[in-house]
Structures are given as C-alpha cells and as structure tokens.
Structure 1
Amino acid sequence: MDLLFPVLNTIAGVVISLSLVYFLAAMGAGMHELRKNKTKLGVQGDARYEQPFLDEPETFDVYFLVPCLNEEAVIGATVAALAPGRRSTTIVIDDASDDRTAEVAREQGGPNTIVLSRQLPNARTGKGEALNDAYLLVRRLVEERGQNPARVLICVMDADGRLSDGALSHVLPIFEDPKVGGLQLAVRIRNRNTNFLTRFQDFQFWSMSAITQFGRRKTGTVSLGGNGQFTRMSALEGLDGMPWSASLTEDLDLAISLLIKGWTLETTPAASVDQQGVESLRRLIVQRRRWYQGHMTAGKRIVDIWKNPDLSNARMFEMSAYLSVPWLFDLPWSILWHWLLFTFIVRADSVFSYVDGPLSLVVGLVAWYVLTFAPSILTTVVYLRRDRRVGLGWAILMGHAFLVMNYLSFACAWGALLRMIQGRTGWDKTARSAEPGEATASPSTTSAAASVPASR
C-alpha cells in the first residue's frame, strides 16, 4: 500500500497535467486566433438565424443535404429558411420515415427542394449511407447543370439546423482559397433556456468547442461536425471511395480523410448554426455515448495519419492528440479522479499538514481552488464574454457544473467502450421536439418540391 499511493498519485498527476495543458493550449490558441483576426469573443453572441442568404455573393453553387428520419416536427422551418437561395438546392434525404417528414419538406421547401426517398431494406443503415446516396444525386445534378465541381459546395445540415443571418456571405469567400476543402460552423443551442441540460450543452458548444475550433485554424485541422458542415465537391471527389463512412461519427471520419489528402479545414467566428439541445438526461446519454464511440473508433486512424509523409508535424501532432483524448484523458481520469478523492479523505492529515493558522488555511484553499477549477474559471469568463445575455450567475453555474457533468462523460465513455467490446455499432437517433411556430403541412396540400427515389 505504501508503494501504491505514490505510484497512482504520480500517474494521476501526469494525466491531470497533460489534460490541463491540452485544454489551456486549445483554449489559448482559439482566443489568440480571434485576437489576431481582430475579432471579439462576443462576436455572434446575439446572432439571429432567419436569413442565411443575406448579402450572399453567389460565387458558388451550394447543395444542402438534410438527412431525415421522422423529422416532421422540425424539417418545415429548416427547408423554408434554405429556400430563398438563388444558387442553392436543398436535398432532403427521407430515410424511410414513418411520419410526414417528406410531405412537410415538399410543402415548405419550394421548387429548389428535392426529397430523396430511401426505402427499406436499404434505408436506415446509418447517416453516412444516406449522405452517400444524396452525394450520387448531387454528382448527377452537377453534371447535368454543367457546374464546376471546384465551385460547388456541399453543406450537411441537421433537420433542426438553422444558419445565422448572412452565413453564406462569410462562408463562401473562405473557399476562394483553393487549399480549403471543408469548413465547420460553430454551434449554438436554440432551446438553451429550457432547462439545466440544454444550457450546459450551449455552454459546451459556445464557450469550449467553438473556441478550441478557432484555435485549430492554426494547423488547418478544424474538426467537421454533422450540422453546418461545408465541403468542396472536388475535394470529396478526390477521396478513396464514397465520402461518408459507416462510422457513428461519419463527420469526424470525413475530416480525417480530407486532412490526409492534404486539404485545409477551416471555420469562421462570423457565422454559426443553431440546433435543438437534448432536453432529457436519458436521451443526452444515448447521444453522447454514440459520439464517444465514434470518436474512440476513429482513434485507429492515427496510424493512417502517421503513415502520411506529406502531413506537417503540427498537423500530425494536433490530429493525433485530438483523436487520443477519450483514451488518454476521459477513461483514465474517470478512475484517477476517484482515487485522488479517496486519497484526499484517508490522508487528510498529510494533505493539511501545512496548516499552522488561519492565513495558511485560506492561502492553501485558494491555491487548491485555482488549480482544481482552472478550466471552470476560464470557461466561465469565456461564456460570459461570448454572450453577455447569459448572466453572471448562469456562467458561474455552468463553469462549475463540470464537476457534476464529468460523470456524464465518464458514463458515456465507458458505455461506448462496452459497446465496442460487444461489437455493437447500431445508430441511436436523437429525437427532436416540436417548437412554437414550427411550419407543418396539411395532408391536403399540393407538393411544390420535386421527389426522386434513392439510387440504390
């Protein structure tokens, strides 16, 4: 036992130090990138999500792909917001829905919306397969319309996704750089005021994920997500096989494939996409467990990254570090955190041996708080500055909620590992909730959008 304590404490110290360095480096790089571009942290804090084509330069043809399985509650407003684009086409991929998803999409989407119908048994085989079917349709349309694949962008949107006002005016100019193969927008949670869970999801996306993504611009290794994900069609054509894999995180898989091929992946603080947050703990665990499983499975592609002699050292290191996070930090930390708590209790006498009066106790507690809650303090400040409407109380609560919400990450990481051991790769879809003012079609309405069957 005398040897066990120092060994495990040393391991815990190493893991804590590495995770803290990684977190602070990622956040610091993001804030430095914003300052370098003379952009304030609060940019887009009060953005609206109603007119994505405002001031659009119309320099690219854009195809919006919206995979749908029983999305009647939200698809209407999504396609309606995408309908005004003069050089865009929206393809709603109806993955054998049981509800009126297709009917609502046709009614609200207008003439530039196509409903791609997938039928069982080929349907419901994963988001990647649905996107690949739509990609085949895009290739045919691009050829028929005589469009240049290098000037064609494909944007993947969730069924509940909304682009911020003027989003295209900020996204399209970035693709004028021929090295840029993809771009991911920051995510805002639309129903963040519903409860604690939705507010915490907004906190994670808006104060952590977005900032670290800005930092990854330095290496051009921004990670792609499944909502607000833009890719250049010519970049997709240069991949080996179909763009999207059967992975549970097909977006991360695509990002790796594009980076290995030498493309730069970007983001911008001037545009964003919003979506619904999950409102129940059970559904949130299911969603995050799937994300963890996909991320952990993608770890095997570190081998592909290291085999590629054309990748710069900075890109190789950043990509490898990002893919290793669940294995090096989340899983070990779930054990080591409780070991340190146990040590703190059973060896309280040695832990507080420095105390010889009130002043030393206060100094020690302050030092312990700063070291333990450094990420909480930083993210509290960032979240408040990202959106002044949040309020100081909510920002402090969200920052310190990490201590409790870590258990969600622990449960999801270990649940994902168990599913991997069992060979379970089934797709657990995130259910949506109807929103006030959501557009829906009546059964008697006349369809305005085209409908085509899936190609396979």
Structure 2
Amino acid sequence: MDLHSAIAVTGTVTAVIAVLSLVRFLVYWFAVSDAFWQDKPLEPGDVSRFTWHFFIPCRDEETVVATSVARLRDTFPGCHVWAIDDASEDRTRAIIEERAAHDPHVHLVARRRPDARLGKGAALNAAYRQLSDWLPADADRSEVVVCVVDADGQLAANALEQASAAFEDPQLGGAQIGVRMRNAGDPLPRPDAGRLANAHARWLARMQDVEFSVNNAGMQILRRRTNSVGLGGNGQFVRLTALDSIADDATAAAWPDDALLEDYESGLLMLLDGWRISHLEGTYVSQEGLVSARRFMTQRTRWAQGNLQCLRYLPRILRSKNYTFWGKWETAYTLMQGPLHILMTITTLLFMGLCFVDFTRGPTAFLDSAFAHLLLPSVFFLIAAGPLAMWGTRYRATRLPESRWFAGLMWGLGLWVYTYHLFVVTNRGLARIVLGRNGWAKTRRNAEALGIGPVAKEA
C-alpha cells in the first residue's frame, strides 16, 4: 500500500468512527435531554423512619474536616458521623478525636499502615465493619442508611427528606443526589496568581459545575428510567442491607478494595444483585471545583482509569436478568466511551502522521488528498458543539436565571471545549493500566494546593 492509499484508508476509518460517535452521541443526548426536563423533586419523606450514618473518608483533611463534621451534626442533629482517618500525616485524627470526645454521635474510624492508604474503598469498608459491630444485634439493618460525603462536601438541608422518600421503596438499595461546585463564579479562585491564571481557574470551576449540574444530572435522570443509575463518591446514600448483600464473605468488603471507582462499581454490584438505584435531583451536595489544571487532570485520569477497569463487568451485565434491555444499552454506552476515545485517538494520530509525511514530500499533493478526509470529521466535531451549547443555556435557566442568555451560550461552548479532556485522560488511564500503576492518590484541596492554611502531603 502506497502512502496516498494509507492516508485514504486511515482518513476513511477516522471519518467512519467520527460518524458513528456523533450518531451515538446525538441519540444519547436527545434521550438525556428529554429526561432532564421532565424530572420533578419527590415529596418530602419521613426522616425519622430511618437511622442515618455519614461516612467521611479523611486523608490529610485538617483544612476541612472540623467544619464538615460540625455542619453535618448541626444540620442533621439525629445523625451519626463516622470520620475515617486514613493514616493522615497532619492533624486530621486529633481534630476528629477532639470532637468525638464531646459528641457521642461522632465516631473515629482509625486506620494504620500498612492497612491504610490503600484506596477510598478500603477506607469505607473499615467504617462499614465498625458500624456493623457498633449496631445492636437486633437492629433492623434495612432501615439503616449510610451516606458517603467527601471531607469538603456540604449536603443541602433537605437531603434526608428527599432520601427518605426514595427509600420508602424496599427494593431501593441506593440513591445518588446531584452535585454542585460551590466555588463556581468565585472572582479570585487563585488569589496568589495573576489575572490570566485566575481567569482559567474560574473557567475550570464553572465548567465542572455545568458538567455536574446539567450534563451529568441529565445522564443520571435518564439512567433512573433505564434502572442503571451510577453511584458517585460524594452524596451517595446506600441501604445497609444492600451493602450486606454485596459484601465479600471473606473480607466483609462492601466496596471493592482495589477499585479506583469503588462507588460506581458498588452500584454495578447492587444492580447485578437485583437492587434498584435512584437519582435524586431534588437535593444536592456541594463541593469545591478544582482550580488547578494539573490536579484536575490527575483526578480525571484516575476516574478514566477506573472506568476502564469497570469494563470487566460488561459481560455479566449483558447476561444479567436484573438489568433491563435499556439498562444494558445505557451501561454499555457509558463503559464503551473509554475504548472509543482510545480508538479515535489512535486513528486520528495515525492519519495526521501520514499526512505530515505526505506534506514533507509535496505540499500540493498533500492538500489534494488530506482536505477531503479532514473536512468530514471536522464538520462532525463542529456539529457536536450544538447540543453542548444547549446544555449551557439550560444551566443558565436552572441555576443562574438572572444571567444573560449570552453567558449561557458561552458556558455551553466552553463545555464543548472542556469535554475534549476526556481523550487525554482516557489515554493516560490506559497507559497507567499497561504500566501496572493502579494506585490511588488523594486529590488535594484547593486550600492545600494554593498554600492557604495547613498543607498536607499528596500521595
């Protein structure tokens, strides 16, 4: 095969992948869009019907843990807080111990090396085992609900009312609530930096808020229709008997110890076991959006790598009688995004490399052969901007209705640019798998990263 033929073949393959990806994306987007606008909050439930236990994984969290524990106890007086110190190297454990000494509803889950710092799943399992030992033998575990909250997470005041309404269904094993970035719009997210760095930090925090508030929320609402809702790390509610049903008999591990997406994997296991999972958009948990590009890419690489690890569940899901047809379709769509990003990256880079070699041989011939093959994929990439731009206008309508419509359009176009980070982090995740690098590293808080307050070491 000569060079021009190779360019034609790779260009055609790239165009075909682009077409299939676009059609797949548009079908999914229309389904998500329809579900998003028809969602309604639940009527408040009876909070007193259940006992509530908050798990807070803490690894070097002295900058936020005291405030988070106090807020949970003040907002939800009857709850129990289980703060998990994962062998922190700062004052995290001392802060928790001080609060626990004066409040019997605050519990320290102390972890020590070498059994500590093995991942968030392992930390949550330690709290699960300690809670099980603490509960009376005759406790009705079906009315015990665990909520996982990040150390910087802030639950809305109506979170338990919405969760109570959902858990009135005895077949409901878990529920995920919406996530928001409370520092979106912060005028100085990086007070130590210049104007350009602050502009980029503001944009990054805003894009994460748009992503979670409309794009991810719409996906979860669609998944509620297909019974394939995914659990997230922050703001997930889980019935204790559902955790019992998926816990490993030998290790009593309800969350996969070795997973980078232990939350999503535990949800998959519940669905495979016959439980239902719901998404509650009538309430939310807020967290800090990352304002450092490097830390953002580190976090998203871990997520992408975890998503690739979840591919091992796909055969079981496709064979499962507990998944509906549309649930299998939606889950396959989600899990196959990573491999598709990798395939598109490979074909695109190969095509561009061949075009570059052709260009060095003769610019005129290169332009004749490359233009036709570059045109179609470029058009499809531009078409994809339309639906994402509409997410920006919907974000404005639902979150910031006082803003101008032009701001919503710009947020949507920004989201279009922002989503292409997925190609980078997915390939980085694949590289880590190939190199056998499966360790879990904590994403440092903004205050730590910028040197505001005590600084904790990063693994």
Contact (CA 8 Å) 2:254, 2:266: kept in 1 or not?
yes
Aligned to 2:55: 65
Aligned to 1:179: 171
**Distance in 1 between the 2:40 and 2:272 partners?**
31
2:413 to 372, 395, 400: 400
**Distance in 2 between the 1:9 and 1:143 partners?**
65
**CA separation of 1:283/1:368 partners in 2, compared to 1, >3 Å: closer, same or farther?**
closer
**CA separation of 1:103/1:56 partners in 2, compared to 1, >3 Å: closer, same or farther?**
farther
**Distance in 2 between the 1:164 and 1:180 partners?**
21
Aligned to 2:216: 209
- The one-letter amino acid paired with 2:437 is R
Contact (CA 8 Å) 2:143, 2:239: kept in 1 or not?
yes
Matched, 1:94 2:85: yes
- The one-letter amino acid paired with 1:418 is A
**Distance in 2 between the 1:403 and 1:266 partners?**
28
Instruction: Tell me the secondary structure at the aligned position of residue 424 of structure 1.
Output: coil
**Distance in 1 between the 2:411 and 2:21 partners?**
20
- The one-letter amino acid paired with 2:390 is L
- The one-letter amino acid paired with 2:178 is A
Aligned to 2:386: 374
**Distance in 2 between the 1:196 and 1:104 partners?**
34
Deviation of 1:402 after TM superposition, in Å, equals: 4.5
Contact (CA 8 Å) 2:182, 2:286: kept in 1 or not?
yes
How far does the alpha carbon of each residue in 1:23-48 deviate from its partner, in whole angstroms, 9 at most, with x for none? 33444333433444457xxx9xxxxx
How far does the alpha carbon of each residue in 1:411-435 deviate from its partner, in whole angstroms, 9 at most, with x for none? 2111111110011111111111349
Contact (CA 8 Å) 2:304, 2:338: kept in 1 or not?
yes
**Distance in 2 between the 1:308 and 1:270 partners?**
30
Instruction: Tell me the secondary structure at the aligned position of residue 297 of structure 1.
Output: helix
Aligned to 2:199: none
Contact (CA 8 Å) 1:27, 1:208: kept in 2 or not?
no
Aligned to 2:367: 346
Aligned to 1:169: 161
Contact (CA 8 Å) 2:83, 2:109: kept in 1 or not?
yes
Contact (CA 8 Å) 2:29, 2:387: kept in 1 or not?
no
**Distance in 2 between the 1:351 and 1:6 partners?**
9
Contact (CA 8 Å) 2:4, 2:369: kept in 1 or not?
no
- The one-letter amino acid paired with 1:399 is G
Aligned to 1:359: none
Gaps of at least 5 residues in structure 1 are 44-53, 355-363, 442-456
**Distance in 1 between the 2:233 and 2:70 partners?**
20
Contact (CA 8 Å) 1:26, 1:215: kept in 2 or not?
no
Aligned to 2:183: 191
Deviation of 1:16 after TM superposition, in Å, equals: 2.8
- With normalisation by structure 1, the TM-score equals 0.81
**Distance in 1 between the 2:389 and 2:77 partners?**
45
- The one-letter amino acid paired with 2:30 is G
- With normalisation by structure 2, the TM-score equals 0.81
**CA separation of 1:304/1:216 partners in 2, compared to 1, >3 Å: closer, same or farther?**
same
Contact (CA 8 Å) 1:198, 1:278: kept in 2 or not?
yes
Q: Which has the higher helix share?
A: 2
Aligned to 1:266: 278
Aligned to 2:146: 154
**Distance in 2 between the 1:382 and 1:15 partners?**
29
Deviation of 1:157 after TM superposition, in Å, equals: 0.8
Aligned to 2:227: 220
Q: Give 1:67-82 correspondences, 5 Å limit.
A: 67-82=57-72
Q: When the two structures are aligned, how many residues end up with a matched partner? A: 411
Instruction: Tell me the secondary structure at the aligned position of residue 118 of structure 2.
Output: coil
2:125 to 125, 132, 138: 132
Aligned to 2:73: 83
1:23 to 19, 25, 47: 25
Deviation of 1:314 after TM superposition, in Å, equals: 2.0
Cα root mean square deviation, aligned: 3.1
**CA separation of 1:105/1:393 partners in 2, compared to 1, >3 Å: closer, same or farther?**
farther
Aligned to 2:431: 418
Matched, 1:103 2:94: yes
**Distance in 2 between the 1:315 and 1:204 partners?**
22
Deviation of 1:337 after TM superposition, in Å, equals: 5.4
Instruction: Tell me the secondary structure at the aligned position of residue 58 of structure 1.
Output: helix
Q: Percent same amino acid at aligned positions?
A: 31
Contact (CA 8 Å) 2:392, 2:415: kept in 1 or not?
no
Gaps of at least 5 residues in structure 2 are 190-201, 356-365, 455-459
**CA separation of 1:66/1:404 partners in 2, compared to 1, >3 Å: closer, same or farther?**
same
Instruction: Tell me the secondary structure at the aligned position of residue 279 of structure 1.
Output: coil
Instruction: Tell me the secondary structure at the aligned position of residue 155 of structure 1.
Output: strand
**CA separation of 1:350/1:331 partners in 2, compared to 1, >3 Å: closer, same or farther?**
closer
Deviation of 1:276 after TM superposition, in Å, equals: 1.0
Aligned to 1:429: 442
**Distance in 2 between the 1:392 and 1:335 partners?**
38
